[in-house]
Amino acid sequence: MSIRKFFKIVAVALFGAVLSSCNSNDDLGKVDIEIPGVTFDGDIDCCSAEEALQVYKFIQTVKIIPDLSTEIDGKYNVYAYSKTGSFHVGYNDIYFVVTKKKNGNYVKNFEFSGITPHMLMVKMNMKHSTPVSAGVESFNDNYLAVKHGWISFVMATSDAGSWTLKYDYSILGSTGTTSEAAITVDALPAGQQWVKSFKAGENTYYISLVNPTDWKTGKNAITAYVSKKNTPATTPYGLAQEQFSVEIDPRMPDMGNHTSPDNVALSLQGDGSYQGTVNLTMTGRWRIHLTVKDNQGNVVAGGDDLDEGYSSLYFDVTI
C-alpha cells in the first residue's frame, strides 16, 4: 500500500465525522471529507493534515451556534461556535471555522470583520448595538483556521427587544455581508451581573467582565474590556481609546461584607484588555466593587464611598 493511500484511509476515518461530529444540530448537510491538506490539489489555502487535526480537536471543546452557521456562495460552509452554543448577557467568546462544500477541507485564509449586533426595541421602534471585539483574529499559532472574536450583550432577548447579527466576510475571493440572523441572548442567572455601564463626562462606557465562571477559590486573573458607546447607537461599540485604571474591592454581601487581601487593580494591556487580580477566599456570591479612574488618577465612576470601599458600580459573581 502506498503512503498516500494509507494517509487517505486513515484521514477519511479520522475526519469523516468532522462536520457531523462538530455538533449534532448541524443542519447544513453532510459532505464526504477528503484528506485536509494531504490531497494537495494545488490549493495552498487549505489546512495541512496537522492543522486540520488541531481544528478538529478544538471544536470538540465548544458547541455550534446553529443560527449563525451559514453557506456562502454555494461553495463554503461557515460554522460559528461558543462555549455553550448560545449567547448570554455580558461577554461571550465566538469562534468561526470555514470548510469547502466540495470536499469538507478546512479553509484558513478567510477574514471576518464588521460584526454588527442589533437589538430592536419594540415599543420605542429603535435599534442599538453593543460592545464587540476590535476584530476577528486567528485563535493562536496552532489554530490558524479558527478565528476568534467576542461580543458583550448589554440586554437579554425579551418581549421588549430582539437581537440580530451580521458580519462581513472574505473567503478565498468570495466577499460580502451575511444577512441579519435572528439570535437569542439569555439573561444571566439571578444574582449575577457581568456587564455594567458608567458615564464619564458626556460619554457612556461599558465594562465587560470576561468569563467569571472559570474562577476558583483563591487568586484569579481578572480580565475586562472597556467599550465606548457610539453615535449613532446602531454602530457597534468599540474599545475605548481613553485610558483608565479600575480599582477592585471584592466583598461578600451574605457574609457581613467582608473583603479579601492581595487584590490588584485592572490596568490597560497592549491587547486592549484590562487585567488584574482578584482574591476570592471562599465559595459563594461576591460583589466586586469598582472604582474607575482616568489617567490623571481622578475618579470618573464608582468609588462612591471610598472610606468603606463600597461602590454603586460593581460586578456580582458566584464561585
Same domain assignment for residues 159 and 232: no
- State which of 137, 156, 186 marks the end of a domain: 186
Q: Which of 186, 210, 225 is at the close of a domain?
A: 186
Contact 136, 213 (CB under 8 A): no
Predicted local distance difference test score (pLDDT) of residue 22: 38
pLDDT at 8 over 50: no
Q: Could you give the number of structural domains in the chain?
A: 2
Average pLDDT of the residues in 122-144: 90
Q: Which three cell numbers stand for residue 312?
A: 454603586
Residue finishing a domain among 137, 155, 186: 186
Residues 13, 132 within the same domain = yes
167 and 60: one domain?
yes
The full 3-state SS of 222-291, as one line of letters, equals: EEEEEEECCCCCCCCECECCCCEEEEEEEEEHHHCCECCCCCEEEEECCCCCEEEEEEECCCCEEEEEEE
257 & 225 share domain:
yes
Give 46's pLDDT tier (boundaries 50, 70, 90).
confident
Which domain covers residue 234, as residue numbers?
Answer: 195-318
Q: What percent of the chain is predicted at pLDDT more than 70? A: 85
Residues 281 and 242 in one domain: yes
**Do residues 241 and 133 share a domain?**
no
Q: Summarize pLDDT for 163-199 with one digit per residue, the tens.
A: 999 999 999 989 999 999 999 999 999 999 999 999 9
- The DSSP secondary structure of 45-69, one letter per residue, reads TBPPHHHHHHHHHHHTSSEE-GGG-
* Mean pLDDT computed over every residue of the chain: 87
Q: What pTM did the predictor assign?
A: 0.86
Residue 261 has pLDDT above 70, yes or no: yes
Which residue, 193, 219, 221, 223, is CA-closest to 280? Answer: 219
